[in-house]
A and B are shown apart, each in its own frame.
Chain A
């Protein structure tokens, strides 16, 4: 998983809990590299889960809530640091439809063998997008937060429902319905 994700999670934690707390949490999270991450590195997702769990233990905020907040945080970071990704996108659905292609380049450019999540989209009706997220990693709530934040970026409001995908336990379907 891309180093940016780790660096931003730690920044969010520092913003919320302060540097001293983050020092302690990283020190006690039993991380392979002692919590030293660079944006251009690539690290196992299991390390991210360890950090989320440790932050949850410290703060009492559930891992799911932390993941969702982190989804919002990272979308703001993308808007600042990957502004070109948003260029030419007129609404959240156009942005969400582009994620699969964009993420491939960003991850594969440095790590050609990296495993990738898949984001398959389908406009089932006007104002209704289905997005199927497939990944061996348990980051559904993180995705949910990013979708919420993406809608926010375009000043749109929608209901987002999570549904299981039959025959694929590592996939989740997000039903995104715009509020008219």
Chain B
């Protein structure tokens, strides 16, 4: 089994990470907006 990590990563791996980051960012945008609106209702 080749478990040694090389210095470079594959394009596929890079693109998976890229998509994951965008998904996480969208979630943060949506959830922070929800939080803001709920806070406004409270004040």
Binary contact readout B1-39 vs A (1 if CB under 8 angstroms, 0 otherwise): 111111001101101111111011001100100000000
A154 in the interface (beta carbon within 8 A): no
B36–chain A nearest beta-carbon distance, Å: 16
How many of chain B's residues have a CB under 8 angstroms from any CB in A?
22
Q: Whole-angstrom distance between the alpha carbons of A18 and B20 in the complex?
A: 20
Residues of chain A in range 135-152 having any CB-CB distance to chain B below 8 Å: none
Contact A38 B9 (CB under 8 A): no
Contact A19 B10 (CB under 8 A): yes
Residues of B within 8 A of A (CB): 1-6, 9-10, 12-13, 15-21, 23-24, 27-28, 31
Residues of A within 8 A of B (CB): 15-21, 23, 26-27, 33-41, 110
